[in-house]
Structure 1
Amino acid sequence: MKFRSRKLMAGTAGVALAALVGLTGCASAAPSSSQPTLDPDEEVSITFTFWGNDVRAELYNEAIAAFEEQHPNIDVDIIFLAPTEYWEKRQIEAAGGGLPDVVTMDLAYLRQYSQNGTLLDLEPYLGTIIQTDPIDPQVLQAGVVDGVTTAVPLSTNSWGMFLNTTILDELDVEPFTDGTWDDYYEWIAEVTAAAKAAGKDVWGGVDPNTRFTNFELQLRAEGSYLFDDEGEPGFDKERLAEFWESNQSLREAGELVPQQRIAEVQPKTAFDAALSASDTTWDNSGAGFLAGLGEGYEIELLAPPLSVDGGKDLYLKASQMYSIASNSDHPAAAATLIDFLINSPESGEIFGTNRGLPASETARDAADLDELSQTIADYEASISDRLGDAPPVPIVGYGSLHEKFRELGEELNFGTITVDQAVDQFFAEMDVVLTQ
């Protein structure tokens, strides 16, 4: 499918796209040597596991073959599972103390596996076997739980805003460029009014206040956070109520995509169903949006609104990570494999952006980035002045809170609950999660 290209836009104006496990504990201590080394003459066998599809499996087969050619003394046994089966298998292994040597880790599970003692402290291997200079320190911080590094990120993404510039051109409305959240709400109302005047079944945006991450970004801009490393919230009921009330007038005036219309187009989103001229989400959502919209549409990626001058609201999120099991008999060999898969030019050439935008500059420079991937790379470079430290690894139970937040946002849009009721319900759920 052929799509038109738009010129990349610098700075805050954005960059454009053509439509193109139960026990409490801590991480296991690493070997006492501060300078671990790999014996090139020792024949060892390690296990490596990942999730994905057949395409990714073929890429890993190629990468492991290249690794074994460079390290003929290390034999890698690959364990590949579909995403739905992957974590079920890991949970069983963790309960029995038998995780594979190298585990592909997800940020949502990192705290759980770190605190139950099944992951190795990687600090002795960082900068020695696993090279860290090519990786942004803010990205590396994502693998730290309770002061212990138990994972190394291999790819990143960041929060952004997508605009459907084809819709905006048809409505003769200028794209949003930058401004505060209130400026964005006013722009949404302007787009919706233009669409109604033109008889179009289009709205200015999806309710941004149904997104937990948008709330997090506003807190970060103010110097606060969702949850600290101890699991304590950085907000109270009044601040959450303020967030949900900030665009209540848009809901009441029907200027956001109605929740009923969102339900009708599922599994598409309102944005890739061309109902919304804007949406805020992770920057690696572009490929899915383009596929859903189809030929004839152009979309643009830019930074989300910011209401605090100089606020460090954004961060690079580790989309996938590698860990070493604390039960590994060959941690140096496991660390050598991790370094190859994250940092080597061979790995960058083989995977490209299949696992996400490479976190390592070395691998990223070697990757053949398509237009979409290059646009995301340019976007992440353009927001450097807004990047703060990555937040602590999500608390155990974060997923249920994320889902509760979304559900309450939907009910607010349906008009079935008030803001005060939504706040009370969320804090009740949060109390349950934090006291588990």
Structure 2
Amino acid sequence: MRFRHTHTAAATGTLLVAALTLAGCAASGQPADTQPTLDPDEEVSISFTFWGNDVRAALYDEAIAEFEDQHPHIDVKILFLSPNDYWEKRQIEAAGGGLPDVVTMDLAYLRQYSESGSLLDLEPYLGSIIQTDPIDSQVLSAGVVDDTTTAVPLSTNSWGMFLNTTLLEEYGVDPFDGGSWDDYYDWMSEVSAAAGAQSADVWGGVDPITRIENFELQLRAEGGNLFEEDGTPGFDEERLAEFWDSTSAQRADGGVAPQQRVAEVQPLTAFDAALTASDATWDNTGAGFLGNLGEGFDIELIAPPLSEDGGKDLYLKASQMYSIAANSDHPAAAATLIDFLINSPESGEIFGTNRGLPASATARDAANLDELSQTIADYESSVADRRGEAPPVPIVGYGSLHEKFRELGEELGFGTITVDEAAAQFFAEMDVVVDQ
């Protein structure tokens, strides 16, 4: 599945960067037997927050303007932050009981905010203000924590692998065509050697061990989970060390992009800075990659490596979700905004797959899928046989563990820590998080 850069609006979905310490009271809301309604004559103002880049911000500006045209009595204050700042700001707000009315939520933080009582029980609004028929029930269930719905998914995505076919053609290396993770590591070394022979500042890929999702996929292929339903880890220190050691040869021989070069191009990734020919990440990241690479680059989306034949490692993830703050003074208006952003044809047309493939069939049918968007949709269909059941809702503290995993992976890249030291540090951090 190959596509070329276009001028389609896009942004990179993100994962999780801050540890949370949340405070709050029990989730509140109207009794389940009460049907909430929106007073069309009441002038209200609500706040809405999301993460992303300037491209996504422009799309939200357009969508909110359309919403306010349709609901002139509702004024929406938009609060936009970069991915790196978003969760730090939410942590401060949640601790003070002052979250925005509508919060863009990530699955990794959902349990933390739900169990702290920071989020409203949405059950009274489902099927009344927020239409749920267009959303697959399995996708909708991702917003349920302890039998309470505290978020509604707005989009889905799946883990994939992007290839920069322009760079591969330039250095005379065939695209990776599937295989095990070891096959992929060997392929990365081949690309790095070919580019190095021409004194090019290009490598086969970023080191896969910096991303906990790559580790999760390997565990799922083996029939396990990163964390079980009761919160216990599905791996031990030895298995984690094995994963982190799996690219030691590539780190030593220059088969992966040096961590120093990766750090130098931030906030771009090594892939959208054209330093690497591959990257494994969520499929909705492709739009941001193309936007940052600029004209003249072709990229391709393929399935990631699979070490166990027949393994069900992939799954359909609720890439982003919307929640309402438990302290919201205008929950009906907030629910009306959520329904518009998730279900309306106007929202589907404006965003396309910028936030991931729309979870709502109504929005998805209205989306004018450009080449990239159609590629993402086709990719998710193509890996259906490889998808297993979605993993359990992430444990409380997963966000901080996700960040710790990344930090330790980067330290391994810099050579400032050994694999055994990294594994011991991660388990020490995990013990603290799980015991909280």
Question: TM-score, structure 1 length as denominator?
Answer: 0.83
Residue aligning to 1:61: 64
- Distance in 2, matches of 1:42 and 1:342, equals 24
Matches within 5 A, 1:142-221: 142-221=142-221
Residue aligning to 1:49: 48
8 Å CA contact 2:271–2:277 kept in 1: the answer is: yes
Deviations 1:84-122 (A, max 9, x none): 686677556655656555443333442232112232322
Q: 1:55 to 1:222 in 2, by over 3 A?
A: same
Q: 1:221 to 1:41 in 2, by over 3 A?
A: same
Matches within 5 A, 1:59-138: 59-68=62-71, 75-83=73-81, 94=94, 99=99, 101-138=101-138
Residue aligning to 2:372: 372
- Distance in 2, matches of 1:78 and 1:362, equals 23
Between the aligned residues of both structures, percent identity stands at 69
Matches within 5 A, 1:13-412: 15-20=1-6, 22-23=22-23, 27-28=27-28, 31-33=31-33, 36=35, 38=37, 45=44, 47-51=46-50, 55-68=58-71, 75-83=73-81, 94=94, 99=99, 101-327=101-327, 331=331, 334-412=334-412
Deviations 1:267-324 (A, max 9, x none): 4332233332211112222233223333322111111111223322222333332223
8 Å CA contact 1:145–1:392 kept in 2: the answer is: no
Aligned length: 416
**Residue type at the aligned position of 1:249:** A
Which secondary structure state, in structure 2, belongs to the residue aligned with residue 299 of structure 1? strand
Which secondary structure state, in structure 1, belongs to the residue aligned with residue 132 of structure 2? coil
8 Å CA contact 2:205–2:278 kept in 1: the answer is: yes
**Residue type at the aligned position of 1:51:** F
- Shift of the alpha carbon at 1:354? 4.7
- Distance in 2, matches of 1:387 and 1:430, equals 27
- Shift of the alpha carbon at 1:330? 6.1
Q: 1:417 to 1:172 in 2, by over 3 A?
A: same
- Distance in 1, matches of 2:267 and 2:100, equals 35
8 Å CA contact 1:159–1:314 kept in 2: the answer is: yes
**What RMSD over aligned residues (CA atoms) do the two structures have, in Å?**
3.0
- Distance in 2, matches of 1:224 and 1:81, equals 39
**Residue type at the aligned position of 1:17:** F
Deviations 1:43-88 (A, max 9, x none): 584735233665245323333235427xxxxx32312113268667
- Distance in 2, matches of 1:189 and 1:271, equals 16
Deviations 1:119-151 (A, max 9, x none): 232234434543323223343232122232210
8 Å CA contact 2:59–2:350 kept in 1: the answer is: no
- Shift of the alpha carbon at 1:424? 0.9
Task: Answer with 1 or 2: which has the greater Rg.
Answer: 1
- Distance in 1, matches of 2:186 and 2:249, equals 10
Deviations 1:361-408 (A, max 9, x none): 210111223332222222222222223333334333323322222222
Q: 1:198 to 1:262 in 2, by over 3 A?
A: same
Which secondary structure state, in structure 1, belongs to the residue aligned with residue 71 of structure 2? helix
Q: 1:111 to 1:430 in 2, by over 3 A?
A: same
8 Å CA contact 2:36–2:124 kept in 1: the answer is: no
Deviations 1:325-345 (A, max 9, x none): 445566555444432321122
- Distance in 1, matches of 2:242 and 2:279, equals 21
77-86 or 269-278: bigger deviation: 77-86
8 Å CA contact 1:59–1:351 kept in 2: the answer is: no
**Residue type at the aligned position of 1:62:** A
- Structure 2 residue runs without a partner (length 5+): 7-20
Q: 1:174 to 1:36 in 2, by over 3 A?
A: same
Which secondary structure state, in structure 1, belongs to the residue aligned with residue 190 of structure 2? helix
Which secondary structure state, in structure 2, belongs to the residue aligned with residue 228 of structure 1? coil
Q: 1:330 to 1:259 in 2, by over 3 A?
A: closer
Which secondary structure state, in structure 1, belongs to the residue aligned with residue 216 of structure 2? helix
Which secondary structure state, in structure 2, belongs to the residue aligned with residue 82 of structure 1? strand
